[in-house]
Amino acid sequence: MIFAYRQIDNLLKLCYNVTQRNEVNIMSTVTIRLNQEEETFFKSYAQLTGQSLSSLFKKALERDIEDEYDLKIYKQAYAEYKADPETISHADFKKELGL
């Protein structure tokens, strides 16, 4: 029986509830499962930077999404350039826009 408890204890993961609020109401709660090592690491980093875990996770996820989106846009623009490599100067572009 002790072995079973140890197994269960080893399998338990911390569930950290991230709650987002705006001025009107609570919008959503997201559960993130962390093992002991991850919990210690993230809490230490949050304390080091003076951020809450919620803020830390949201900022990291937002950065990752923005980076992924930027890379996608870059690849599309580069593919367009390779298909038609004609370019114009910044000054000519401003003239076209009437600036």
pLDDT > 70 fraction of the chain, expressed in percent and rounded: 73
Q: Mean pLDDT, to the nearest integer, of 76-90?
A: 92
* Alpha-carbon distances of 97 from 13, 88, 90, rounded to whole Å: 57, 13, 11
pLDDT at residue 12 is higher than 80: no
Number of H helices, E strands in the chain: 4, 2
Q: Hey, what are 19's tokens?
A: 């709650």
pLDDT at res. 31:
87
Evaluate whether 86 touches 92 at the Cβ level (below 8 Å).
no
What residue numbers bound the domain in which 75 lies? Answer: 2-97
Residue range 13-50, pLDDT digits in tens: 444 444 555 556 666 788 889 999 999 999 999 999 99
When divided into structural domains, the chain yields a total of 1
pTM: 0.59
